[in-house]
Amino acid sequence: MPSKPVLMTVDDDPGVSRSVARDLRRRYGQDYRIVRAESGSDALDALRELALRGEQVAAILADVLSAVLVQEAEPTFEPIAPGPVAMARLSICDRTTGACTGVVLQVGAGLARVAASRMMSVADPAEEDVVDAVAELANVAAGGIKSLLYKHARLSLPSSEVVTGSTEASVPGSQQVRAVVLGHVVQLTVVFDIDPDGLLWPPVLSDELLGRP
C-alpha cells in the first residue's frame, strides 16, 4: 500500500502544536499523515527522515549487491555475522546548506573477497583489492541515497579498512538496514548531521579541463 502524503504543522508552543495536529488529524487523517514539529530545525529533521525511508535504503543496498555480485540480494533483519568485516565510510554533503550525512557499509570479509574477485576479475584478491571493492560498493550505494536526500550535493572520497568485527551500532538520528546475498548479511548505516571536518574530497575540475567555454 502506498504511503499517505504528509501534512506538517510547526509551532514552538507545545500546546498549540498538539491542538493543531489533533484538528488536522481529525479532519484530514484519513487521507494524510499528520507530522508535528516544534521548531524549524525539528521540521527539517523530520522532512529529511521522511525523504529517506528505511525500505528505500534497503532496496538501494539490495540492488547494488545484486548488480555487482550477479546474485539475488534481499533485505533482511538478520544481524551481520561476527568476525572480520570490511568497512567503508563516506559522506554526502549538501552544497546549499553544508549539511552532511554519513554512509557506512559493512561487509563480512568472506563476501568482501568474493566481491573483489568479481569486480576486479582476480582469483585471489589482496587485502587492498578487498578494501577498494568495498569502498566502491559504498560509493555506488551512497550515490543512490544522495539522489533521495539532496538536489545538489557531493560525495566525499570513501575510506575503507578491514576490522575485527562490526563496530557501527545504531545511533539516534540514523537509519540502519541490511541485505542478504550468497548467504551473507551486509549492513548499511546512514547517519544524519555528521561533522564534515576531516573528509577527503575529489578534486574540482576547472571549466577548461571539462571543455567548457
Q: What is the pLDDT along the chain (213 residues), one digit of tens a residue?
A: 345 666 777 878 888 888 888 888 888 788 777 888 887 667 766 766 665 666 778 888 999 999 988 899 998 888 888 899 999 999 999 888 888 889 999 999 999 999 999 999 999 999 999 999 999 999 999 998 888 777 788 999 999 999 986 655 556 667 888 999 999 999 999 888 888 788 888 876 544 444 555
Cell of 172: 539516534
Q: What is the per-residue pLDDT for 93?
A: 92
Q: What is the per-residue pLDDT for 207?
A: 47
The rounded distance, in Å, linking the Cα atoms of 82 and 84 is 7
Q: What is the per-residue pLDDT for 209?
A: 46
> β-strands 33-37, 100-108: how paired?
unpaired
Q: What is the per-residue pLDDT for 210?
A: 44
The rounded distance, in Å, linking the Cα atoms of 40 and 84 is 42
Facing residues of 177 across strands? 188
Q: What is the per-residue pLDDT for 1?
A: 39
The rounded distance, in Å, linking the Cα atoms of 162 and 142 is 19
Q: What is the per-residue pLDDT for 35?
A: 80
The rounded distance, in Å, linking the Cα atoms of 91 and 201 is 10
Q: What is the pTM of this model?
A: 0.74
Q: What is the per-residue pLDDT for 148?
A: 78
The rounded distance, in Å, linking the Cα atoms of 55 and 76 is 11
The residues, ordered by sequence, that sit 6+ positions from 72 with a Cβ below 8 Å of its Cβ are 66, 181
Residue of 43, 42, 22 lying closest to 34 (CA atoms): 22
Instruction: Count how many Cα atoms sit within 13 Å of the Cα of residue 71 in the half-sphere of its side chain.
Output: 13
Is 93 in a helix, a strand, or coil? strand
Q: What is the per-residue pLDDT for 88?
A: 95
Cell of 74: 534481499
Local structure of residue 183 (DSSP, 8 states): T
The residues, ordered by sequence, that sit 6+ positions from 54 with a Cβ below 8 Å of its Cβ are 175, 177
Residue of 10, 51, 8 lying closest to 192 (CA atoms): 51
The rounded distance, in Å, linking the Cα atoms of 156 and 135 is 11
